[in-house]
Chains A and B, each alone.
Chain A
Amino acid sequence: MMLTALSSVEFCTVISSDYPDIVRLAAFIAFVASILTIVVVFVIFYNRVAKLKARKIADEADNIILEELGEHIFNYDSVDDIPEHELKATVRTLNSLKNQSSALRNSVVRLLVYFQKNLTGAVSRIVSSAYSRLRLREFALRKLRSSYWFYKTQGLAEVQAMKDDHSLPEVYKLLKDSNQDVRVAAYTVLLRLKAKDCFDFMVKEPDELSDWHQIVLHDAMVKTEGLEIPDFKIYFSSENTSIIFLSIKLIVDYKQFNAIPKLLSFLDHDDERVRNHLIMALGQLQAENGEDRLIERYAAESIKNKAAILIALGRISSGLAVKFITEKFLEAEHFLVLKCAAAAIFSHPEPLREKILKDLPDLNNEQKAILRHVAEPSNNYGIL
């Protein structure tokens, strides 16, 4: 490099010379930049060597652990079948690995968590037993007590994967953490472990949940077998709009038809997005007794919600809203309304649909084209 050629002696000469200030400043910056460049290059290569070494150690550890578990543990049908001396020997080997370095310990934890997540039955119980005997819980608890949010979430993920009930007291402490990611991870653990108050967050969560948080919590609920599901309509009184969104999704997924009157009573909600979710939910639940309310709301709604009402009426397809849907189709000025009205017509069962189409007056080219469009089932996704 040109600047590296400028020796520090020359540099000092320039700095202390009678050169103009800008030249001296330029020389100074150039010198610092050159030194930094050399340092950064060194860091790049040092970082590479360090990372590759860590990866190599982790790979070797994985091989030893896998070999140990494969040869001495996983070939048994249950924990009871493993001879005590063999279990002890394996635990001893893993224990010595665990105590050698944090990298090796991380490998042990990672693999056990991996097996626990992906395997069921006897192997899962064996893994759980090994985790317990190796006292790895202590490390997870240490993460839960960390002051960094990302360690806490890692610890929570570990507790969740290992289904470790004994760590629940520490998990409860995190329900009031200032970081929402930590709180949501803690709620997820309670759901996965079927704690008795696992739905309390729907009352107590102070902040709006992002769509991502809702997806994670929804996933935890629907994938936890034997979870006692509450009546989600009770959470509609929440001032947290995101809790209402989540409740609506869950009402639909768990087909809680008894919530329909409550959904209808909330159609006057101030928030347009809440009304949109309610309208779609009524359609998905095929709430026949909701058709009149939906029709009643139509005039006051935005284009997006008007379209949602038409789609919902199409899904309900009791036949009672046919006149309304047809009217909206014929008088539609907005393309989205036209498309949704057409889709609603085609959502009706065959004989009724034929009758609606037959009764339609002379249509313009756009109306004809959109009917042909929705007639192809492959075109009818993602309309809203």
Chain B
Amino acid sequence: MESFKSGIAFFFEYAIFYYSVILMFSYLMLVIFSLIEIKRYNRRCRYIDYAALLNSQHVPGISVIAPAFNEARTIINGVHTLLSLNYPKYEVIIVNDGSTDNSLHQLIDEYDLTESNFYYHAEITTHPVTKIYKSTNPVYSKLIVVDKENGKSKADASNAGINVSSYPLILCADMDCILDKDTLIKMVRPFVEEKIRVIATGAVIRVSNSCEVENGYLKKVRVPDSYLPLFQELEYIRAFLLGRMAWSKINGLMLVSGGIGLFDKEIVLSAGGYDHDSLGEDMELIGRMRVWMHDNKQKYQVIYIPESLCWTEVPSSLRVLARQRTRWAKGLAQTLWIHRKVFFNPKYKVFGLLTFPYFVFFEWLAPLIEAGGLIYYIYLIITGQIAWVYALILLAFIYSFSVMITIMAILWDEVAGMKYLKKTEVFKLCLAAVVEPLAYHPLTLFFSLRGNFFFFTNRNLTWGVMTRIGFKKKKVDLK
């Protein structure tokens, strides 16, 4: 018993400490790589003249796919934004995933839609498509609306959109996202610029909760007013500008967010499209595409660009946040389990030897270890064995490092392009970074544990409904 106790003590006092040091070292590496990548991107931007791309007929065509489920409040503005993107060759495919509200009728009325003879070829199996609509108005010739039975997952709706798409590149977006007008031109750049085949690109997603929006366009970018969206904004900045940019630098990206991602359709189809059953379908798809490329011995890249091109409304209530994060955690565990053959497999190079183990040890395992550490601390307090000075120093060590990383992410955001005009807004973000580890992180930790519990106990988890508060100013009427 004594040796067991001392083993536990050794594990929590030393093993976890060194685990934390390695984790911090990996974060520092991410910080350095991301800065190099952001600087490289900014330099190239000075050279790139987008006018040549905008006026060329030799650019690859893009199919923009946006699944919609009960989006009546935002659908007209959303489609309007998608139809106004700057790009010479693209189509917009809205997949009405069995909505029970009047979103389809709104679309039919607004865009003069009629049933089309469009032939639906189910290259990827989906729930049945009932009708496909096109506009009689030539102004909206780019628009296709697919009406299908609800497949209870975004993946199913996205796959239906992929089946309908005509162009070699597909941009998967969320209906509620607000896209920058230059999204397509900026995201397609790596596809035409790189000599090694690019199979996917992603861009930075930001929080739109307190932004001013008019007719589907972003009028003014603002830091979220309420606490939960504010903390999530910090998370997004950290995840996109530190994590993803760094992984992009070493071609180790494992996730292109579902909110906005541009994919090579040929590879998506070869890999089998989105997995209907996955709760982390965006990460799972990239995993499968990468596996397919390696298995077929093809060179490829997955690239992230440090530009904020997509704004999304994040959960502002604890209930919705809990559901979302639980789903993400379960999705992560699912994806890692599905692709377990990649783990430390040299065949998959950076993906197998670095990215995948990183995700296993530092994304999936971290919350479990952290929770174990907390329980151990509580045990020490209860049994009166705690050395308070040591405990506080160790706590300060974790806390100060996490604050530093977040503050660095804010700086990188400034380097990538100042999105917030007022100094007070940036100050607010910095303050939130100081509070976040104590006020917000425990919540996400709990939801991660819950997601893992759901995974291990094989409990079902549905997508649920994202309750939207709406934007500062919203004019729906476009007429």
Contacts and interface: CB of A to CB of B under 8 A. Distances in A.
Interface in A343-376: 366, 369-370, 372-373, 375-376
A33 interface: yes
Given A212-B189, A379-B118, A41 B47 contact: no
Given A153-B47, A373-B119, A19 B52 contact: no
A14 interface: yes
B22 to A, nearest CB: 13
Given A22-B13, A249-B58, A30 B121 contact: no
Contact of B397 (A26, A157, A382): A26
B463 interface: no
Nearest to A335: B121
A229 interface: no
Contacts of B53: 212, 215
B227 interface: no
A35 to B, nearest CB: 9
- Taking chain B's interface residues, is the majority helix, strand, or loop, or is none over half, making it mixed? helix
Contacts of A14: 393
Contacts of B423: 45, 48
Contacts, number: 157
B411 A33 contact: no
A37 B193 contact: no
A100 B359 CA distance: 53
Contacts of B17: 22, 26
B195 A369 contact: no
Contacts of A216: 49, 52
B403 A1 contact: yes
B353 interface: no
B470 interface: no
A210 B390 contact: no
B182 interface: no
Given A181-B47, A212-B193, A378-B134, A26 B393 contact: yes
Interface string B36-65: 000000011011010011011011110100
A34 B390 contact: no
B58 A218 contact: yes
B408 A369 contact: no
B403 A23 contact: no
A30 B400 contact: yes
Contact of A376 (B117, B167, B189, B194): B117
B401 interface: yes
B470 to A, nearest CB: 30
Interface string A54-94: 00000000000000000000000000000000000000000
B47 A150 contact: yes
A211 B195 CA distance: 8
A300 interface: no
Interface in B52-111: 52-53, 55-56, 58-61, 63, 89, 91
A102 to B, nearest CB: 15
A6 B167 contact: no
Given A26-B17, A27-B393, A41-B430, A215 B56 contact: yes
A37 B407 contact: yes
Contact of A219 (B56, B411, B414): B56
B192 A211 contact: yes
B426 A372 contact: no
Nearest to B138: A378
Contacts of B168: 382
B414 A376 contact: no
Contacts of A378: 116, 134, 141
B24 interface: yes
A202 B119 CA distance: 43
A27 B191 CA distance: 47
A31 B17 CA distance: 16
A375 B117 contact: yes
Contacts of B389: 19
B370 interface: no
Contact of A43 (B44, B118, B134, B411): B411
Contacts of B193: 210-212
Contacts of A369: 117, 119
B461 interface: no
Contact of B118 (A3, A157, A335, A376): A376
A22 B58 contact: no
Contact of A215 (B58, B194, B434): B58
A310 B204 CA distance: 41
Contacts of B430: 41, 44
A41 B407 contact: yes
Which of A48, A212, A215, A216 has the largest number of chain B CB atoms within 10 A? A212
A29 interface: yes
A268 to B, nearest CB: 25
A216 B55 CA distance: 10
A208 interface: yes
Contact of B400 (A3, A44, A48, A181): A3
A35 B117 CA distance: 66
A305 to B, nearest CB: 14
A382 B14 contact: no
Nearest to B390: A23
Nearest to A17: B389
Contact of A47 (B44, B167, B414): B414
B404 A40 contact: yes
B249 to A, nearest CB: 18
A271 to B, nearest CB: 15
B400 A2 contact: yes
A106 interface: no
Nearest to B47: A153
A249 B58 CA distance: 8
Given A25-B21, A181-B47, A381-B91, 11 more contacts: A3-B400, A29-B401, A30-B397, A30-B399, A33-B397, A34-B404, A44-B410, A48-B414, A212-B193, A379-B118, A382-B166
Instruction: Report the 9 A-B pairs with minimum CB-CB distance, sorted nearest first.
Output: A382-B166, A373-B119, A26-B397, A211-B192, A33-B400, A219-B52, A372-B117, A3-B400, A33-B404
22 contacts: A1-B434, A20-B390, A22-B13, A33-B400, A37-B407, A40-B411, A45-B426, A47-B414, A48-B423, A150-B43, A181-B47, A210-B195, A211-B60, A216-B49, A218-B58, A339-B121, A373-B117, A373-B118, A375-B117, A376-B118, A378-B141, A382-B89
